Structure 1
Amino acid sequence: MNDAANVTPVPVTFFPDYRATNPYQTLLYENLGPAFKAEPGTIEDALALQKASPGKPLLFHLHWEHAVFTGSGEPQVVDRFLDDISRFHSAGGKVIWSIHNLRPHDGHKSNANDDLQSGLSKMADVLHLHSLPAVAAARDELDLTERKIRVISHHNYEGAYPVFPRKAARAELGLSGARMVVLCPGRVAPYKQPHELVSEFLKAASPEDRLIIAGETARNFDFTLPSDARLIHREGFATPEEVGRLHAAADFVVLPYRASLTSGSAILAATLGRAVIGQDTPGLRDVVAPPSTGIIYQNGGLADALHNALDEEAETWAERGKAAAGLARARNQLAIAATWRDVMNSLVRKDYSRLGGP
């Protein structure tokens, strides 16, 4: 019998390191078990580790690839990064690319960005997507090699955020007198259409309804709320405690994205027992099961969706939140980590090429 304590773990270098603002990577890697040891680092770090341990299996796991860009000189940055990926691969390393988005959240997709994604599509050993809707959308924009694709669901966020009673959360936030409370969480950026959301909310809301927009405002994005008591802007990064409290106080979460390949915000809302309304995107199609766990509307349907949602009773949305939490529990972290272990084990096995791998 193998003793887990004697296992020499396979190093996994992951980039970028977003653990400080998003528990996704923390929850993914801490559940892998003793066979893999994940540490943050660049491709240069992975190459240095490879040089220090020749012949040993090594993995490089790339997430939000847009972090490769450092500002000016984008084509040179991309060329250098892809050259390093090629060297890592040629020396026996294996590369996993988790495709979280098809384009940066600012909506700008440069030629260099296209070159980066094209290169990664060819060089990565595994192309990871979180859902079948995401695979279908990615196929429309990227030249994906079918045998490299692996679909592994986005895990839930159980244990990452505290859970508060609704009444207590509202009292602490000064919302005890509110009727319906709507939460739009996360970074305030153009792709979330915050100006449109505010405008349509003010048309549909009663004097006792409240919209909370909580998150840091994207750089160079001009966002100022009108002077209206129904609007609350909680600027800046929210602590886990604040995230939990805001969701507890809300009746539902609104995610009016123009585009979303994977929606961690929708999975977080479901984990914390809140249903979602949002535009029809692959990310929301993966999470929301209308009408039982939320509402998905077509492009241009935000006004009607908000109006209808605010016309419903809080109890209706509470039932949807319970149903959403039930589906979120199926995104079990240990079960999903087991699938990740299978993929990573297949990459480090010498006979991977005979098993249908790249």
Structure 2
Amino acid sequence: MSGSDKGGHGQEATVVFLPDKRRFNPYQKRLAEALIHQGFCVDVKDHPPLFGAFFRQQRLYSRKVIVHLHWLNGLTDQAVYAQSRIRFLAWYLLMLIDLSLFRLRGGRLFWTVHNLISHECPDHARELKVRRLITRFANGIHFHSRSSIDRAEEEYGVSLKKKALVAAHAGYPEDYPPNPSRREALARETDISNADFTFLFFGNIRRYKGLESLVEAFHRRPGSHYRLLVAGAPIPGVSTEWLNEASAKDPRIRLRIGYVSEPDVSALFSLADVLVAPYTATLTSGVVSLGLTFGCPMVLPEAARVYDLPGDAGAEYFAPGLLAEALARIEGRDLDGMRAHNSNLGRSLTWEAMARTIAGGYRKAGRNR
């Protein structure tokens, strides 16, 4: 992504986002565009080989380059997935040397903590060790909420507040505009009418997302006018055969298994009365940001209070094991009021505001080198 579109601050240092996940969602694209308007040149790249991932960027750009890590998968996999402890320690040492050289030569390191730990991580202790290493060398650590700082400090066992930057996850109104014709087509395809009360589960199907507990809780909810719409693709290695069996037993369940095209995103959310994101492990959520973008009332676990939004005005929270009761309660809520609250909140969370905070962290790190 070119940084030739300079912002009002003049041309600043180059920022390299690692890794490139733009194929999966617009997060990095939108944030990069907003940082360009702050005066930074931004490149989005896949992780290079583990050794040299950081100081190699200084050879490509300059010693003052800013490397901004997002998801760590790809960078840390060779270490975390190593078959022996000796091999893990060797990879860990290489990363330590790489980071040391990078910082000694004037590089700046930032990290957006999207999750506490990789969701399919095979070795919790190893990944924690790698994450602590990154926190040690980072100039700034970006969180999407203040509560997530406390949660990360608890998990990692290190103090993070002095390095923390808090900038809430922005929404996606430009990426998923209303699409009434596609909504009508999806309504026909899924046999969902305006008279139905529809719960939506949206996003990749992964073990930690609590979909099995949602299906079970929905099954216990009597009423022929209820619908559970599940839309998303499973990650490799996750079977959805059990979902086909569940929908065969309960014809109120509607499945859209597979890649969700961009025109279908807004159409699916417009079919929903309520978004349900019952994640068993969470720190931030792009799906909740989509829910705010579309002004959708939500059912969320108590653990999701770590987002600091939408709060009780926009969501029905549930304690572990009590999802069915939350599905029942939310139907009696002021759903129009919840929609208005979440829509207003979604409009207030902009990429420009997010980029201003992060750019301020970049500049501060440059002054303090």
TM-score, normalisation: structure 1: 0.87
Q: Bigger shift: 266-275 or 158-167?
A: 158-167
Shift of 1:279: 0.3
Aligned to 1:184: 201
The answer as to 2:266 corresponding to 1:266 is no
Shift of 1:187: 1.1
CA-to-partner distance for each residue in 1:178-216, whole Å, 9 max, x for gaps? Answer: 511111111111111111111110110422211111111
Letter in 1 for 2:33: E
Q: Check conservation: 2:165, 2:357, Cα contact below 8 A.
A: no
CA distance 1:208–1:29, shift in 2 (3 Å): same
Aligned to 2:155: 141
The answer as to 2:166 corresponding to 1:151 is yes
CA distance 1:219–1:161, shift in 2 (3 Å): same
Cα distance in structure 2, aligned partners of 1:345 and 1:27: 20
CA distance 1:342–1:208, shift in 2 (3 Å): same
Cα distance in structure 2, aligned partners of 1:6 and 1:22: 28
Q: Which of these residues, 82, 93, 106, is aligned with residue 73 of structure 1?
A: 82
Aligned to 1:342: 360
What's the Cα RMSD here? Answer: 2.5
CA distance 1:6–1:156, shift in 2 (3 Å): closer
Q: Counterpart of 2:14 in 1: which secondary structure? A: strand
Q: Which of these residues, 104, 121, 124, is aligned with residue 138 of structure 2?
A: 124
Q: Counterpart of 1:204 in 2: which secondary structure? A: coil
TM-score, normalisation: structure 2: 0.85
Shift of 1:124: 0.9
Letter in 1 for 2:42: A
Shift of 1:283: 5.7
Shift of 1:49: 3.7
Letter in 2 for 1:213: V
The answer as to 2:261 corresponding to 1:239 is yes
Cα distance in structure 1, aligned partners of 2:319 and 2:180: 33
Aligned to 1:199: 216
CA distance 1:283–1:220, shift in 2 (3 Å): farther
Cα distance in structure 1, aligned partners of 2:8 and 2:283: 39
Q: Which of these residues, 14, 17, 23, is aligned with residue 17 of structure 2?
A: 14
Shift of 1:271: 0.8
Aligned to 1:356: none
Letter in 1 for 2:39: A
Cα distance in structure 2, aligned partners of 1:110 and 1:118: 12
The answer as to 2:298 corresponding to 1:256 is no
Aligned-residue sequence identity (percent) comes to: 26
CA distance 1:147–1:5, shift in 2 (3 Å): closer
The answer as to 2:227 corresponding to 1:210 is yes
Q: Check conservation: 1:274, 1:318, Cα contact below 8 A.
A: no
Aligned to 2:345: 327
Unpaired segments ≥5 residues, structure 2:
1-5
Shift of 1:312: 3.1
Letter in 2 for 1:60: V
Aligned to 2:3: none
The answer as to 2:186 corresponding to 1:164 is no
Shift of 1:282: 4.5
CA-to-partner distance for each residue in 1:120-175, whole Å, 9 max, x for gaps? Answer: 11111112211111011111112134321221221122211122359736346432
Q: Check conservation: 1:163, 1:272, Cα contact below 8 A.
A: no
Letter in 2 for 1:17: D
